[in-house]
Structure 1
Amino acid sequence: MKSPTELAQQLTRQWHNNTLRAQRLLTPEPWPLKFVIGKPTATQVLQQAASVQQHIQSWRQVSVGQVVFEHKSYRRLAETVELPSYWQINSPSEWVQACQDAAVRHEFAVLSQLISASDSCMHELLVRERSLWRHKPLNELLDTLVLAGKLTPGCAQGQPLRLLSGYGVDTKFVERHQTLLRRLLDTRFADAASEQGLLNFLDALDEKDHWLLVRPLAEGLLPFQRLRIASTELAQTALPATRILLAENERCEHLLPPLHDCIAVLGAGFDLAWLAGQALEGKQLYYWGDLDTWGLAMLARARQLRPNLQAVMMTQEIFTDYADFAVHEPQRAGRFDLSSLMASEQKLFNHLQQQEKGRLEQEFIPLERVHAEIEEQIT
């Protein structure tokens, strides 16, 4: 026999189960819930009559949901006994009441307001991942939902977050709620905010230093063979070369050939906002990235900032020639604007999406081919 307290504790444990909570709050199928109470044995009825009577009375006092009683016969009793058989819970609000737990009631109240204030695509995230919003002020959570509904890819247009206007929040607000904001944007934009990083997704200038590897490809351009420079400085200070080769990964540094009047900047990844800086005006810009969907997404982003930027070795011919070195791309790039890619690059993007092994990393292209392609294309 289970008491109301025991079943209330079971219901509370179920509230803390992410899968059950999402299933019960987001879909109508599980309702109503029925929980078997259990019936006393003949020995208990005969020898523990007072306890059995107390058990029956405790269930008669339950006012949440519906307690269903049934008559049961026992051989040594002349009359049937009316016993609680199961407890029926008809709705999420009854489930929360039945838990008899203040913390659960508070979470349900907060969650109800968050669900009411958010787009339906965000509901599962909010229900499943309470750690994103628990222990935070409700008014700020509601503001975060409003903000997540307004922000769009590239909306910062290269500005720092602190300079954004029209969103009703400041930089500190975004910092405090960055994880929740990023995950909410993921629900709208197919995980792009997490894949690209929030600042890159918004095209917001990262005012924290991100150090990139700078390597001159010709003697005399810089007093160093290699050095690191913050991307914010690269946006403001012109490098002493007419031609700039931007490489996605640092690992391909050893593949680069000597090249007249050219400096390579390596390892930027999605940190591309600095390309909009005035220091790059008048430069011939080239981009070399991995042959995968992410490499083409970065190329598209770079070309949005610098429309005259030319791609190097990012062709279907290169991919086909070295397809034996291609590997599975663990997670493909989400939706992004393909319009800044050339027709051949868009075709390559679609081709890579269809491949079981659609990722060819830069360093797997042979040295001789890299030298030949760079020397031919960067003129």
Structure 2
Amino acid sequence: MKLPEDVRQALVRRFQSKHREWLIGDAGESLWPLEVALGAPTEQAALRQVDGVRAWVSAWQGWQGVGILSWCDRRWKALGVQRLPEKLALRGPEDVAMWIGESARWERAQSRYRALIARWPVLAQQLPRYFDVLADYSDADYQRLTEMLDWIASHPNSNLYPRQMPVSGLDSKWLDGRKGLLTDLMAAIQEDSSSDLDFYQRCGLKAPPLLVRMRVLDQSLRAHVGGVGDITAPVDDLAGISWPVSHVFIVENLQTGLAMSDMPGAVVFMRLGYNVDVLARLPWLARARCIYWGDLDTHGFAILHRARSYIPELQSVLMDEETLLRHKALWVDEAAQHSAAELTLLTKDEQQLYRDLKQQRWGQNVRLEQERIDWTTAWNVLQGSLA
């Protein structure tokens, strides 16, 4: 026997699983009206729970919600004729949404869905994936989204920087969180299913130059760049420098790189993360010995793996089991480990340590941040790598 609250909970689950299909409309018409059986008991079942049946009938007698409630008569030997609630029929998604308190979200999503497919019919199948966007965006955010789609569709090869687009209220913070959404919707509007275009390529926009931060650890090398020792510049500008760099260090933590003193023939790159592949665009780097020092966690090894696909001879330092175990008191948790089971470009020892971290050999999501390693020890290792 389903009470009104039982029906509401069932409809919540139904809405969660079906609301995207319902938004399309045509695919769901055969489902309506949606009938929910209320579980009328047999006479034997009713005799075992007379009070429960009375409470169930009373709940539906006092119910004044949405839908068509059907009743049935049961002629029972011991209890006589009983009028029982049999089923509830809901005419469409609007009824379901009203039942579960989602009316405002449903109406807003449906209205925006209809407006967008009227403008771009090719979005009909793609938009339901973004039901929450349609339902929950503020009016200002929704208008900004539609204006961007309209402008980009009308200017597919503008070659402007994103902030140059004449869209009211557009700022970098707003855009950064919506690049995936815009890329996906523009691909649908352009009817191009290829997935190898990033946001800028898909929208015909100019990507801001990727800035990298590099310290020059040799006075003679600094002379090649006007005596400047700490440089943040587009990687293509750094590629044009002609100088005799013999050692390139790549570290993840900014302060680790800032702590490094002068070393002959050396430069250090800081905080590249997974953008480490940009170093492949530096022709002078191919003539240098390259050394990577990252965090001792799964993402540190994943970045090393990625870097080696561009710099095959890249060596790692201080990313070994001995270093990890010697600093056990300084371990922290890695929020989320890298997903790969193996990273093929690691050495045998690196791969084993990566596997041990993944298999929780020493505890849950063990992580040693590189800046926690004893600096005297670390500096000696870094200097020794020049030999």
Per the normalisation by structure 1, the TM-score is 0.57
Give the counterpart of 1:311 among 296, 303, 316: 316
Measured against aligned partners, the alpha-carbon deviations of 1:299-351 in whole angstroms (never above 9, x if no partner) come to: 11111111121112222221122122111101112338712222221111111
Please list, as runs of the form range in 1=range in 2, the aligned pairs for 1:263-302 lying within 5 A after superposition: 263-279=267-283, 280-302=285-307
> Structure 1 residues 332, 95: closer, same or farther in 2, change over 3 A?
same
Distance, in Å, in 2 between the alignment partners of 1:40 and 1:92 is: 24
> Structure 1 residues 240, 33: closer, same or farther in 2, change over 3 A?
farther
Quote the residue 1:39 is aligned against.
Answer: 61
> Structure 1 residues 300, 270: closer, same or farther in 2, change over 3 A?
same
Indicate whether 1:323 and 2:328 are aligned.
yes
Quote the residue 1:233 is aligned against.
Answer: 237
Distance, in Å, in 2 between the alignment partners of 1:323 and 1:129 is: 45
CA RMSD of aligned residues (A): 5.2
Distance, in Å, in 1 between the alignment partners of 2:373 and 2:183 is: 35
Please list, as runs of the form range in 1=range in 2, the aligned pairs for 1:354-369 lying within 5 A after superposition: 354-355=359-360, 356-369=364-377
Quote the residue 1:67 is aligned against.
Answer: 69
Distance, in Å, in 2 between the alignment partners of 1:372 and 1:207 is: 40
- Shifted more, 298-307 versus 32-41: the winner is 32-41
CA offset at residue 115 of structure 1? 9.2
Distance, in Å, in 1 between the alignment partners of 2:232 and 2:62 is: 77
Asked if 2 retains the 8 angstrom alpha-carbon contact of 1:325 and 1:360, the reply is yes
Indicate whether 1:335 and 2:340 are aligned.
yes
Distance, in Å, in 2 between the alignment partners of 1:97 and 1:104 is: 14
Distance, in Å, in 2 between the alignment partners of 1:211 and 1:126 is: 33
Quote the residue 1:179 is aligned against.
Answer: 180
Indicate whether 1:256 and 2:257 are aligned.
no
Asked if 2 retains the 8 angstrom alpha-carbon contact of 1:289 and 1:362, the reply is yes
Quote the residue 1:88 is aligned against.
Answer: 89
Distance, in Å, in 2 between the alignment partners of 1:303 and 1:220 is: 29
> Structure 1 residues 229, 334: closer, same or farther in 2, change over 3 A?
same
> Structure 1 residues 126, 102: closer, same or farther in 2, change over 3 A?
closer
> Structure 1 residues 83, 33: closer, same or farther in 2, change over 3 A?
closer
Distance, in Å, in 2 between the alignment partners of 1:272 and 1:342 is: 18
CA offset at residue 105 of structure 1? 4.3
> Structure 1 residues 102, 322: closer, same or farther in 2, change over 3 A?
closer
Quote the residue 2:386 is aligned against.
Answer: 378
Amino acid in structure 2 at the alignment position of 1:321: R
CA offset at residue 297 of structure 1? 1.2
> Structure 1 residues 257, 268: closer, same or farther in 2, change over 3 A?
same
Quote the residue 1:211 is aligned against.
Answer: 211
Distance, in Å, in 2 between the alignment partners of 1:227 and 1:367 is: 24
CA offset at residue 252 of structure 1? 0.9
Aligned length: 287
Secondary structure of 2:274 counterpart: coil
> Structure 1 residues 239, 96: closer, same or farther in 2, change over 3 A?
farther
Amino acid in structure 1 at the alignment position of 2:272: A
Asked if 2 retains the 8 angstrom alpha-carbon contact of 1:22 and 1:128, the reply is no
CA offset at residue 271 of structure 1? 2.1
- Shifted more, 269-278 versus 302-311: the winner is 269-278
Measured against aligned partners, the alpha-carbon deviations of 1:256-289 in whole angstroms (never above 9, x if no partner) come to: 2432211111121222232121432322211111
Give the counterpart of 1:244 among 243, 248, 267: 248
Greater relative contact order (CA < 8 Å, ≥ 6 in sequence): 1
Asked if 1 retains the 8 angstrom alpha-carbon contact of 2:238 and 2:282, the reply is no
> Structure 1 residues 345, 33: closer, same or farther in 2, change over 3 A?
farther
Secondary structure of 2:208 counterpart: coil
Amino acid in structure 2 at the alignment position of 1:340: L
Per the normalisation by structure 2, the TM-score is 0.56
Secondary structure of 2:61 counterpart: coil
Secondary structure of 1:281 counterpart: helix
Distance, in Å, in 2 between the alignment partners of 1:366 and 1:176 is: 38
Distance, in Å, in 2 between the alignment partners of 1:333 and 1:258 is: 34
Q: List runs of 5+ in structure 1 lacking aligned partners.
A: 1-9, 42-54, 73-79, 142-161, 163-173, 185-197, 200-205
Asked if 1 retains the 8 angstrom alpha-carbon contact of 2:320 and 2:350, the reply is yes
CA offset at residue 233 of structure 1? 2.4
